[in-house]
Each structure stands twice: as structure tokens, then as C-alpha cells.
Structure 1
Amino acid sequence: MSAKNQSVTYGRLLTLVLIALVPAFSGALINPTIPAIQNTYSHVPNSETLAQLVSSLSAWIVLIVAPLTGYLLDKYARKPVLLLGVITYGVATSMAFFLDSIYLILLTRVFDGIAVGSLMVTVPTLIADYYSGKRRESVMGYFSAASSGGGVVASLLGGYIASTLGWRYIFLVFAGALLFVPFILRYISEPEVTQETNSEKVGRIEAAVNIVRDNPAWLLISIYALVLLGMLTINLINIEVPFYLTADLGVSDSMVGFMLSTVYAVAFVMALLYGKFKQFLSHVAILAIAFTIASAGFLIITTFDAFGLVYAGVLCSAVGFGVFLPTANDWVASIVDKRYRGRALSGITMFMYGGFALSPFAPDPLIGMYGRLGMLRIAGILLGMIAVALYGFWLIGRTKSGLGAASASD
């Protein structure tokens, strides 16, 4: 490989991987500032709800944008969507710094959701286009690791900026996404797959029929369901466990913040190792082990009432969930025809953010019946049941052609 080609190859890899910082910063940077935003607009009716929406509104927008992005990627091109997503994020989201109205700030969060939704679908699709086999597995892991690592940096940076400069300055950080524009123009080329499929005039209905006919639809639906349940459960660590620690165990907010930052750090390490794990295990085997470890973590959290042991349970869950997203993305990319790759991977993003969006509300009935600790215990049992089912598919696949055999041959 010539020096020029090597430069383009590494530049492309770094650009795709580091763009994961953009959606990671979207929520993690703002979350520490929610109380300050609520305090600033305390005179506005429903100020607490509106302040929470500054963080959560984007997830609901992603649910709408993700499938539309997948359609655009497969129908037209990848690079323009990526470029427009980064520019929208850098310009529209940072405009909140200059706005006084909480409602106008929420409008900028709509654009944030549009940008995040497009990037979270486009980048994995490009990774699947550019790379294959073990290389794709490793790069998918790097992308998820950058997202987790970005969460650590964003959480710490957000708290620091809010306490020193004020919460409004948080939004100026989002303008940094514009730094990716020259690198996208320089290193990201339109994959050959879009040049091939653009000449095929296929309508939406016909495309949907083709996806079901030409791809293992039942397997895709199963993966999407796992993503929804997995992301819903993962977010319980961020939402419900802190309430349990502060209200029942008397743990300080600063200690809870430290604990959550280490969750991102553990997920970062596990995602980096995904490519290594995939050399020895099939997709279904990795998910079975991941759900087992996560289940054990939740059961540890709900069994002991000492912070050290609860913290160990949280880290155990982070180990399990750290390989979850790269596995799901890589699995879908490996089984779907390249003509429908964008739409298929958009399902991962849609159900991932669907889990995040549902997590503040879905546990409420169980909390009402069994309490917060009982709800977390039920979540751990559910994860264990999913793990048992995945082990069953894995064992079936080892003895005859099926789910495990198909994934092992990726």
C-alpha cells in the first residue's frame, strides 16, 4: 500500500470512529446541567419537565429520523447524509447558546435528534460498506468504544463547564462537530454499493417486500427486540439505580456521578475488545454471555445493601452491556443484502433510542407494585431468561444448520 493510500485508509478509519463522539456528547454533555436549566426557567410552567426534555427530546426525534435515514442511504447516497448530519449538529444545536426561550432551546434539540439519528445510522452503514470480516468486527467495536469513551469525557466536561462558566456554554461545545467537515470531504468517498443500487429503481413497498424475502426477517426482528430490551434495561443503570443509591443507601451525588462515569469506561474497554471476542465466538454466543453477565450484575445490585457490592454489580452489568451494540450492528450488517443495509441498520438505531425513550416510563408499573428494588430484580431475572433462550439457540446451531451456524460463519 502506497503512503498516500495508507493515509487515506487511516484517515477514513479515524473519521468514522471519532464521529461517534458526536451522538455521545448529545445527551451526556447536557445531563449534568439539567438542574441548572430547571432553576433558570423555574418561573416557566412545567419547568422541570421542560428541562428534562432538553436531554430526552432528541431520543424521540431519532425514532422518526432513523428509518427515514436508512431509506435515503439505500435510495441515494451515504456521504451527503453524513455531511448534512454533522453540519446540522454543529450549527443548529449550538444555536441554543444564543437563545433565551426554553421553547426555542427545545427546538434546537429537535435538530439535534435529526442529526444524531442520521449519524447513528450512516456511520455503521459506511463501516459495513468499507470493511468486511474481522476488520469490520474490529471497527464496529472501535465505533462503540468511541461512543462510550465520549460519554465519559462529556459527563466530566459538562459538569465542569456548567460549574465554572454556566450551562449555556455547554451548547458551544456542539459546534466542535464542524471540525469533522474537512475530514469527511477528504477521506469519505461514496461506496460502490450505492453507485450500484442507485441505478435500480425500487419503490418503498417493493423494497420492504424484498427485505423480507431476501433476508432473514425473523432474525432481524429478534435482534431488534433484543436491542430494545437491552437498551431499556441499560438505561435503568443511569436512571433508577442512582435513585436507589441516594434515597436508600445515602450515597452522595458526586459518588453516583463517579460510578456512572466508570460504567462508560468499562463499556469503552469491552467494546474495544469486541473484535477479539468475535474471533472465537458467534454473535449469538456473545449476546448470550453478555446477557448472563448483565443479569448477574442486576441480581448483585438487588441482593446487597452495601455500596461497594452494589457498585460491583453495576460494573458487572457494564461488562455485559459493553459488547451489546457492536455485536448487534455487526450481526445485522453480516446477514443483510448490501442493497438494504442502510434500512436494516436504521432499525438498530431506532430500537436503541426507543429503549432509551421508554426507560423513564416503562418501569413505573413494576415500581408501583414491587418498589424500585423489586423492579430492578425483575429486570435481572428477565435478562437471565433472555440469556437462557440465547444459549438454547446457540446449542441448536452447533448441532444443525440454524441461528448459531449462520452467525458462526460470518
Structure 2
Amino acid sequence: MTNISPNFAPLTVQDATIIPVTNRPATSLQGILLLIGSCLPVLGAVLLAPILPTLSEVFAAEPGAEALVPLVLTIPALMIAIIAPFAGAIVDRLGRKRLLVGALIAYGILGTAPLYLNGLGAIVLSRVGVGITEAAIMTCCTTLLADYFVGNRRNRYFGLQTVVTSLAATAFFVIGGALGASGWRTPFWLYLASLVLVIPVAIFIWQPASTRAGVGKAKLPPIPWRGLTLPLVVTLFGGVMFYALIVELPYVLDGLGVKDVAIIGAATATASLATAIGAILFRWIARHGAARLLPLALGLAGAGLVVVWFAPSVPIAVIGAVITSFGNGILLPTLLTWAVSGLAFEQRGRGTGLWTGALFFGQFASPLLLLGIGALLGGLPAALGALGLASVALAAALAVALPRRAETVRYSATS
């Protein structure tokens, strides 16, 4: 059985050291295409946020509109959480490239469906389809990054994946607002981007293969649950942390008296920049391993939320948001590297799918969880503070548990 080490190194040399046969070395071109593909699920998550009030007005007469309109935005994330593990199994069984090309085409078709759909129920159904294709795209892109690159190059691209998706989220929010000003259907045209991307993907992305003879005909090796379970559980919490301020920061600022949309936008952009900086630094600090980086990232993210909780003014709240976002920028690539570092080639698609599902389920649950905690504790700032304290506590627990776990696993692997 392959075990996953908190120091990003597989502890056995049998399955985990299988190197994919790519026939040629991957270059920056392949990395850039996969990073662009990783932005498409972000497009689905934030592009439509500015038009939700308009959709509420347009479909006000339809039964259940109050519940269905928010689902237009959130249902893709839920579908990613549900479908990504199954997409990972397909990736391991049928191959990365075939699924990625098909998903990009389906994404463009389903994403633009609201341009001609008139019923709210039909639009929500099309968004379910978008979420399914996003699960396949995210799983394929992340798995291929792990296939094509190793060592410090892989760390660099995992960090860049968080950078570009964080910056893309900010850009898509602005673009969605600008396009939505000319009509609620206009932002859906942007989903055609996948049909443009599919052409260079079909030409320049290739399907890796294991060096193990006959692997495509043999039964796939089992998932190493012993090593993967803890990374998945922490990733679920990480998804809650990562999405908390993305959704709630505007409400925090509003509660502090900020009504100017430009100021709220600037604060959100500042936090996104801090996330990007944290992710960029991951390339140079990855050598310290999850045993050190996870407590650091979760501790910073939690401390920032506590600052937001007690912030008496807008500048202090923004400082807290920056601290949290910086910690989140380190957190995501650390979690991803921790999860995939001990997976064999034939396990990597399923492992990445499970990781993606855990992350997006955490993101989907984040606003609902904060809403429930806020109802119990008396408001959003207190809910964010409670989440921050939980993150600090988890950081302390991991600081103790991960080094001990590494020693236990290393002993069992050599005995």
C-alpha cells in the first residue's frame, strides 16, 4: 500500500515511483493550457454573481424563484463535489485527454444554454450539466499537471493554479458585472471560451501512460485510503476556509458602514492579491512539507478571521482579510501536493477527483455553515471568528499529529 507522507514524499518505492511515459517533456505551453482550463470552474462560480438580483426580478413570477435563482450560482460547485470522484475514476480508466476534450466541448454547449432557455427550471438544469463538466475539467487539468511535472516544477504549477484561479475569480466578477449591465443573458456568452481552448488542448496536450506493462488492461490498484483520508478531511475544512471571505467579506464591510461598491471591490481585490502572493511563495517554501506548512497556513487563515471578528473599522477588517487570504494562498497548493504526492499514476486521477470533490463540497457548504453558526452566535462576524478559532485549533492539532504520523508510517513501512 502506498502511504502519503506529510513531507510530500512517498514512503514506498513500488507503486508511487511509477513515472508516466509522455514521449516528450512537458513545457510551459502544456502548463499554461492546463492552468487556463483550471480557471473554467471559477468562471462558473463567480461570473453570474452580479446578475443574481436581475434574475430574481426577471423570474419573480415563477414558483420557487427565491430558492432556484441562488442555485444558478451555487449548483455547479455542488455538482463538482459530487461528480469529481467519479470523474477521477473515469480519468484513470479511460485516460486524461479524451475526457478533457469532451468536457470542454460539453461545457461550452451547456454553459451557453441560458442564451436561448426561457424557463428558470431549465436554466438550473443546464447549470447542473455545467457543474458535471467542470468536475471533469478540474480533475483532468490537476491530474495532468501532476503527470507532466515532478518535484519543484510540480510545486510551481500547483502554486500557480491557486494564483491564476484566485486572480481569475476577481476578474470574472468584474467582467460579469460589466456584461450583465447590457442584459442578464450576456455573461453566458463567455462560456464559449472553452470551445476556443479545446483546439490547442486537442493539439498540444497528450495522454500520458504508465511505464507498467499492461496497466490499461489490468484491474486498477486500490486507492490508498490509509494515507489519503486525512488530506481529504483537512481539504474539506480548507474549502470552507477558502470560500468564507470570498462570499462574506462584502457583508462584513457593509456591516461596518461601507456602501460604496468601488471600495468593496478594492478590498476584495486586495484580499485576492494576498491569496496570489501566498500561492506564489509556495514554490520556494514547499520543501518544508505539510507538517510545517499546514499549521502555518491554517494558523494564519484562522488568525485573520479572528481579526475580522473584532475589527472596529474597515482598515482593520481588510488587514484581517489579507492575513486570511495569504494563509489560504499557501493552504491550497499544500493540501493538493500532500494529497497527490504518494499516489501512483494509476491512482492519481481518482485521488485528484476525491480531493477536488472535498474542496468544492467545502466551498459549497461554507456560506450555509456560516449562516447556521451566525444564527447561533449572533451574527456573521462572530461566525467568522468561530471558524477562525477552529482553524487555529486544527493548526495546533496538525502541528503535533503530522510529525508523529510521519514517524509511525515510516516505521511501519520499514518494519
In the alignment, structure 1 residue 174 sits paired with structure 2 residue 191? yes
Hey, what does 1:401 align to over in structure 2? 407
Question: Are the equivalent residues in 1 in contact too, given 2:291–2:403 (CA < 8 A)?
Answer: no
How many residues in Structure 1 have an aligned counterpart in Structure 2? Answer: 388
Q: TM-score under structure 2 normalisation? A: 0.87
- Tell me the distance in 2 between the aligned counterparts of 1:405 and 1:10: 39
- Cα gap change, 1:131/1:41 in structure 2, threshold over 3 Å: closer, same or farther? same
Q: Deviations over 1:257-281 (max 9, x none)?
A: 33223322222232222211113x1
Q: 1:188 aligns with which of 202, 205, 208?
A: 205
In the alignment, structure 1 residue 245 sits paired with structure 2 residue 253? yes
Hey, what does 1:384 align to over in structure 2? 392
Of 27-36 and 236-245, more deviation after overlay is shown by: 236-245
Q: Deviations over 1:351-404 (max 9, x none)?
A: 11111221232233322221122222211110100111122135547xx73579
Hey, what does 1:54 align to over in structure 2? 72
Q: Deviations over 1:183-231 (max 9, x none)?
A: 111111110229856534327xxx5xx32xxx3x333111111111121
Of 269-278 and 72-81, more deviation after overlay is shown by: 269-278
Question: Are the equivalent residues in 1 in contact too, given 2:276–2:329 (CA < 8 A)?
Answer: yes
- Structure 2: runs of 5 or more not aligned: 1-23
Q: Which has the higher helix share?
A: 1
Q: 1:68 aligns with which of 80, 86, 94?
A: 86
Hey, what does 1:134 align to over in structure 2? 152
Q: 1:336 aligns with which of 343, 354, 369?
A: 343
Amino acid at match of 2:116: F
Deviation, 1:10, is 2.8
Hey, what does 1:285 align to over in structure 2? 292
Deviation, 1:140, is 1.3
- Tell me the distance in 2 between the aligned counterparts of 1:107 and 1:379: 33
Amino acid at match of 1:327: T
Relative contact order higher in (CA < 8 Å, ≥ 6 apart):
2
- Tell me the distance in 1 between the aligned counterparts of 2:260 and 2:357: 34
Question: Are the equivalent residues in 1 in contact too, given 2:46–2:173 (CA < 8 A)?
Answer: yes
Question: Are the equivalent residues in 1 in contact too, given 2:108–2:195 (CA < 8 A)?
Answer: yes
**Percent identity, aligned pairs only?**
23
Amino acid at match of 2:67: T
Question: Are the equivalent residues in 2 in contact too, given 1:82–1:122 (CA < 8 A)?
Answer: yes
Amino acid at match of 1:349: T
For the residue of structure 1 that corresponds to 2:341, the secondary structure is helix
Paired residues for 1:350-389 under 5 Å: 350-372=357-379, 373-389=381-397
- Cα gap change, 1:270/1:92 in structure 2, threshold over 3 Å: closer, same or farther? same
Paired residues for 1:11-410 under 5 Å: 11-163=29-181, 165-193=182-210, 198-202=215-219, 207=221, 210-211=222-223, 215=224, 217-279=225-287, 281-372=288-379, 373-396=381-404, 401-402=407-408
Of 117-126 and 91-100, more deviation after overlay is shown by: 91-100
Question: Are the equivalent residues in 2 in contact too, given 1:129–1:193 (CA < 8 A)?
Answer: no
For the residue of structure 1 that corresponds to 2:194, the secondary structure is helix
- Cα gap change, 1:358/1:404 in structure 2, threshold over 3 Å: closer, same or farther? farther
- Structure 1: runs of 5 or more not aligned: none
Q: Deviations over 1:297-319 (max 9, x none)?
A: 01111122201100110111000
Deviation, 1:405, is 11
- Cα gap change, 1:185/1:48 in structure 2, threshold over 3 Å: closer, same or farther? same
- Tell me the distance in 2 between the aligned counterparts of 1:24 and 1:357: 13
Question: Are the equivalent residues in 2 in contact too, given 1:295–1:380 (CA < 8 A)?
Answer: yes
